[in-house]
């Protein structure tokens, strides 16, 4: 499976067998990252009212779209483009400066090429026991690692220590492009891990198979895709 990080919470997953998926596409002008020009079979969004996480309409072509919040609110499981997705409801940060009332969103997971993937959506508060259990047995966790506007790093680490995802790919952290005040650089997140458990992709794309999934939790830091 090929994984590409566009920036923020947007990834493209291209499996050897199964639908190509893009997660949480953003409004480029809002986050500073380049427009997403790749196509896919399925777009997964964590809500329908957050321009940094829901812009399926900006993805080229005519992909299927699943809203993880609606999936969570309607039984927790749905299928689109041949992929089964499960989701659980979550809330944005209680003190979000752009929203008077915290918005609801969905955290979601699915399996591609035998690899169990989970995306944290836009959760902003400590996870409940049920939300933590949602991440059990995950191979790849796309983790909110900025510590501001989303879940705090201590609360994130509590989940990681409890469920022990095999490979953690951080997202939604401060970069030279995305720089909200108080959002943390990646080193704040990495300070919770030993250096020998951290890898760097030095690019926006990686290829990973089931055999490449580590036995114990490791972190893989990716770079974000640059525009043409």
Whether residue 42 lies inside any domain: the answer is yes
Task: Give the pLDDT confidence score for residue 181 in this predicted structure.
Answer: 87
Task: Give the pLDDT confidence score for residue 97 in this predicted structure.
Answer: 57
pLDDT category of residue 100 using cuts at 50, 70 and 90: low
Whether residue 73 lies inside any domain: the answer is yes
Span 196-221, mean pLDDT? 97
- The CATH number of the domain holding residue 135 is 3.60.15.10
Q: Return the closest-CA partner of residue 128 out of 158, 87, 153.
A: 158
> What tokens does 12 get?
């493209």
> What tokens does 126 get?
């400590």
**Distance of alpha carbon 94 from alpha carbon 126, whole angstroms:** 11
Give 217 or 102, the one with higher predicted confidence. 217
When the pLDDT of each residue in the chain is averaged and rounded to a whole number, the result is 94
Coil, strand, or helix at residue 155?
helix
**Distance of alpha carbon 27 from alpha carbon 186, whole angstroms:** 22
Task: Give the pLDDT confidence score for residue 197 in this predicted structure.
Answer: 97
**Distance of alpha carbon 36 from alpha carbon 126, whole angstroms:** 31
Where in the sequence is the domain holding 89, given as residue range(s)?
2-221
Whether residue 227 lies inside any domain: the answer is no
**Distance of alpha carbon 198 from alpha carbon 39, whole angstroms:** 31
Span 90-94, mean pLDDT? 79
pLDDT at 2 > cutoff 70: yes
**Distance of alpha carbon 183 from alpha carbon 174, whole angstroms:** 6
The count of domains in the chain is: 1
Percent of the chain clearing pLDDT 70 (strictly above): 95
Which strands form 42-45's sheet, in the order they lie side by side? 64-67, 42-45, 21-23, 10-14, 2-7, 205-207
Whether residue 226 lies inside any domain: the answer is no
Span 46-63, mean pLDDT? 95
Give me the numbers of helices (H) and strands (E) for the chain, helices first please. 5, 14
Task: Give the pLDDT confidence score for residue 49 in this predicted structure.
Answer: 87
**Distance of alpha carbon 160 from alpha carbon 142, whole angstroms:** 11
Whether residue 159 lies inside any domain: the answer is yes
Task: Give the pLDDT confidence score for residue 149 in this predicted structure.
Answer: 86
Q: Return the closest-CA partner of residue 22 out of 54, 48, 50.
A: 54
């Amino acid at each position: 499976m090929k994984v590409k990080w566009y920036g923020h919470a947007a990834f493209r997953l291209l499996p050897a067998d199964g639908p190509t998926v893009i997660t949480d596409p953003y409004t480029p002008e809002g986050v500073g990252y380049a427009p997403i020009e790749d196509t896919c079979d399925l777009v997964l969004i964590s809500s329908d009212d957050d321009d940094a996480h829901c812009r399926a309409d900006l993805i080229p072509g005519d992909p299927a779209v699943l809203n993880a919040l609606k999936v969570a609110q309607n039984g927790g499981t749905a299928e689109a483009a041949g992929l089964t997705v499960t989701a659980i409801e979550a809330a944005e940060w209680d003190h979000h400066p752009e929203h008077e009332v915290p918005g609801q969103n969905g955290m979601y997971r699915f399996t591609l090429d035998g690899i169990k993937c989970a995306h944290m959506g836009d959760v902003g508060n400590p996870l409940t026991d049920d939300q933590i259990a949602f991440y059990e047995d995950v191979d790849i966790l796309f983790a909110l690692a900025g510590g501001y506007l989303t879940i705090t790093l201590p609360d994130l680490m509590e989940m990681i220590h409890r469920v022990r995802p095999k490979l953690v790919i951080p997202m939604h952290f401060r970069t030279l492009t995305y720089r909200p005040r108080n959002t943390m650089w990646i080193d704040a997140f990495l300070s919770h891990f030993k250096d020998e458990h951290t890898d760097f992709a030095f690019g926006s794309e990686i290829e990973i198979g089931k055999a490449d999934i580590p036995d114990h939790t490791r972190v893989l830091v990716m770079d974000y895709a640059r525009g043409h």
